[in-house]
């Protein structure tokens, strides 16, 4: 009998690849039958290494109802995985873990009125899934996706996502009515030129959503970006009275680091 490990990654076929910049690309994989996940979760994926699989955590960037799985990745020229993964082509095989996990999920949040999704760089990926989840629109009156990058070219993927969501046959009407997309750039010319933290501190963010400020009684916040970004935003929302939620104890905000390598 061959020794088959039921937890071993499955081998999935690359269905599409799109390079956005020299440092960013998106790709789709076949979805194994029986692969279930909640919008906002991540999964281990990667390539076979010399001795064992080389896997990294990637947020699923497609909606739970889609029959393929989308991902969005940075390219790190000396990164053990992404230096190779950036060269994948349609028809290639990529290893996919079996167990999606994560805290950036609706289940970890209490009901509210406005849902803020705060992202930098590839941290926008889990929101690609969430902004096409009907439950997001059923649970919230307003959905605000904020995406900040160093350069304007790095915002292109987010614009594509929002466009896709607003034109989607299933969620398009809800997204068009409730989804707000706010973008800023920190190292180039752009109408909004501040970090997310600054946009919140100065109140500039709220000018785009009808005024006010954060209110833990009715606002919920999801945060995804680099380690430094998630730490700073966690401190900022905690100072405003928000409590961190988890799957077992839902509350006002949740965090996920976006992963690189």
Q: Is 238 in the site for ligand A2P (CB under 6 A)?
A: no
Q: How far is the CB of 1 from ligand A2P (least distance, A)?
A: 47
Residue 64: which of 128, 146, 133 has the closest Cα? Answer: 133
Distance CA 221, CA 233 (A): 10
**Between the CA of residue 256 and those of 76, 101, 227, 259, what are the distances in Å?**
20, 11, 9, 9
Binder among 81, 130, 149, 199 for ligand A2P (CB under 6 A) = 149
Contact pattern for ligand A2P over residues 188 through 207, marking x by CB under 6 A: -------xxx----------
Residue 39 or 230: the one with the smaller Cβ distance to ligand A2P is 230
Q: Is 160 in the site for ligand A2P (CB under 6 A)?
A: no
Find where tokens 């989607």 sit. 168
**Polymer length of the chain:** 261
Residue 142 or 226: the one with the smaller Cβ distance to ligand A2P is 226
**Beta-ladder partners of 44:** 57
Q: How far is the CB of 31 from ligand A2P (least distance, A)?
A: 29
Residue 131 or 149: the one with the smaller Cβ distance to ligand A2P is 149
Q: Is 150 in the site for ligand A2P (CB under 6 A)?
A: yes
Q: Looking at 57-65, 104-112, 144-152, 237-245, which segment touches ligand A2P (CB under 6 A)?
A: 144-152
Q: How far is the CB of 195 from ligand A2P (least distance, A)?
A: 4
Tokens representing 174 are: 């809800």
Residue 10 or 21: the one with the smaller Cβ distance to ligand A2P is 21
Binder among 136, 148, 158, 183 for ligand A2P (CB under 6 A) = 148
Residue 39 or 122: the one with the smaller Cβ distance to ligand A2P is 122
Cβ–Cβ < 8 Å for 129, 39: yes
Residue 125: which of 10, 261, 222 has the closest Cα? Answer: 222
Between strands 24-30 and 10-19, the pairing is antiparallel
Residue 23: which of 183, 216, 205, 153 has the closest Cα? Answer: 153
Q: Looking at 139-147, 170-178, 223-231, 241-249, which segment touches ligand A2P (CB under 6 A)?
A: 223-231
Q: Is 110 in the site for ligand A2P (CB under 6 A)?
A: no
Residue 99 or 150: the one with the smaller Cβ distance to ligand A2P is 150
Distance CA 231, CA 150 (A): 19
Distance CA 19, CA 155 (A): 13
Q: How far is the CB of 151 from ligand A2P (least distance, A)?
A: 9
Cβ–Cβ < 8 Å for 259, 56: yes
Size of the site for ligand A2P (CB under 6 A): 15
Residue 30 or 197: the one with the smaller Cβ distance to ligand A2P is 197
Sign of CA dihedral 26, 143, 196, 151: positive
Phi, psi of 223 (to 5 degrees): -125, 130
Chain residues in the site for ligand A2P (CB under 6 A) = 120-121, 148-150, 186-187, 195-197, 225-226, 228-229, 232
């Amino acid at each position: 009998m061959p020794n088959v490990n039921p937890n071993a990654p499955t081998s999935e076929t690359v269905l599409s690849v799109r390079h956005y910049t020299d440092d960013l690309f998106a790709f789709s994989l076949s979805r194994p039958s029986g692969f279930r996940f909640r919008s906002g979760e991540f999964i281990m994926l990667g390539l076979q290494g010399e001795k064992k699989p080389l896997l990294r955590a990637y947020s699923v960037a497609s909606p739970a109802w889609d029959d393929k799985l989308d991902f969005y990745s940075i390219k790190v020229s000396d990164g053990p995985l992404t230096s190779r993964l950036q060269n994948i082509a349609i028809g290639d095989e990529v290893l996919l873990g079996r167990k999606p996990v994560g805290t950036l999920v609706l289940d970890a949040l209490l009901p509210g009125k406005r849902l803020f999704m705060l992202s930098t760089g590839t941290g926008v990926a889990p929101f690609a899934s969430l902004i096409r989840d009907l439950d997001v629109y059923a649970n919230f009156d307003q959905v605000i996706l904020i995406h900040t990058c160093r350069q304007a070219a790095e915002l292109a993927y987010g614009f594509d996502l929002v466009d896709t969501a607003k034109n989607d046959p299933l969620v398009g009407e809800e997204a068009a009515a409730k989804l707000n997309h706010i973008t800023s750039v920190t190292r180039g010319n752009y109408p909004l030129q501040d970090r997310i933290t600054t946009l919140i501190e100065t109140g500039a963010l709220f000018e785009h959503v009808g005024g006010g400020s954060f209110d833990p009684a009715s606002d919920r916040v999801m945060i995804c970006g680099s380690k430094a970004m998630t730490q700073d935003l966690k401190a900022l929302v905690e100072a405003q009275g928000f409590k961190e939620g988890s799957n077992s104890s839902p509350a006002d905000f949740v965090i996920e680091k976006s992963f690189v390598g």
